[in-house]
Amino acid sequence: MIAMDRLEQRILCLRGERVMLDGDLSKLYGVPPKVLKQAVKRNMGRFPSDFMLELNREEMEALSRSHFVTLKQGRNIKYAPFAFTEQGVAMLSSVLRSERAIRVNIEIMRAFVKLRRVLSEHASLARKIEAMEKKYDRRFKVVFDAIRRLMDPPSGRIGVQRE
């Protein structure tokens, strides 16, 4: 239905959480952003702070340089975007109540699970390299430093980075 790599590109790291933005989700669900926001606002009790965040000005500015490049010249974002955690995305299917929302949510949940698995494997590999580094002498320090640099994700913008 939706290419996994396309979904994974839409998952951001914001305030230490993996999230998806309301604009991206509205495109995936095939509904206008306004409709998605209205559905959320009518059901705010379903979206506690660990399910949904509202971006602050600094986060919006950081994203506007990379994520919202499709805005026409001179236009600003009228309302701060919502960012939904994995649990918030799951809750969206219950407030949107469409077959497409259910199918899209299933694909998004799979993307979050895959990302979690990859990050876990990455952490496991880092621990193994650290153990090997302790085991071998200083001659291999350059090799281990190079491996660590390859494993480190590129530095993200102010508090916002693509996963």
pLDDT value at position 144? 67
104 φ, ψ to 5°?
-65, -45
13 φ, ψ to 5°?
-105, 120
pLDDT tier at 152 (50, 70, 90 boundaries)? Answer: low
DSSP assigned state of 81: P
pLDDT value at position 47? 94
Strands, sheet with 17-21, edge to edge from the N-terminal-most edge strand: 52-54, 82-84, 17-21, 12-14, 160-162
pLDDT value at position 126? 74
Q: From the centroid of its chain, how far is CA 41? A: 21
The CATH architecture assigned to 4-117+154-162 reads: Roll (3.10)
**How many helices (DSSP H) and strands (DSSP E) are in the chain?**
7, 5
Alpha-carbon distance of 39 to 133, in angstroms, equals 52
Query: Which sequence spans correspond to the domains of the chain?
Result: 4-117+154-162
Higher-confidence position of 127 and 42: 42
CB neighbours of residue 46 within 10 Å: 15
H or E element in which residue 149 lies: helix 141-151
Please tell me which of 6-10, 106-110, 157-161 the model is most confident about, judged by mean pLDDT: 106-110
